[in-house]
Amino acid sequence: MLADHEWLTPHDRPGGGSIAEWVERVRWLEANGWLRDPAEIAWPSDPEHPANRAQARDQLLCPPLCWRARCRRAGRCRHLMPLAIREFMPEFSVHISKAGGEVSPWRGPVDQGKLALLAELLPFDHPCGADGE
């Protein structure tokens, strides 16, 4: 199972919780089909379809954040639900809000180390654009 590898996360609080909670979340995602390989899914033919745009965005944002060997070898995110982005929550939300010149709605604690890493890996001039699109 993919979730068994998630104990190797380099983050102390992946997804804003404990590593054990993270592994359980990933087990649920896996059991419910969210960790299928996007390359094996029949996407709509229209490149402007919201699903295609979301997938293209995830493929830009997830790989620089990911530590997983299978994604690194593939050179892309191998999961329909981009785990690296979820692993960086809530800091990812705070970073994207700041990039868009907005105040984040998140009011809980944030990991300053993750925010610094996000600023380095995904600077505001990243190809996804400041608005996350």
Q: What is the pLDDT of residues 85-95, one digit of tens each?
A: 999 999 999 99
Contact assessment for residue 89 and residue 111, using Cβ atoms and an 8 Å cutoff: no
**Mean pLDDT to the nearest integer, 11-34:** 95
Does residue 82 have a cis bond before it (omega within 30 degrees)? no
pTM of the shown model: 0.81
Look at the block and give the residue holding tokens 């295609």: 52
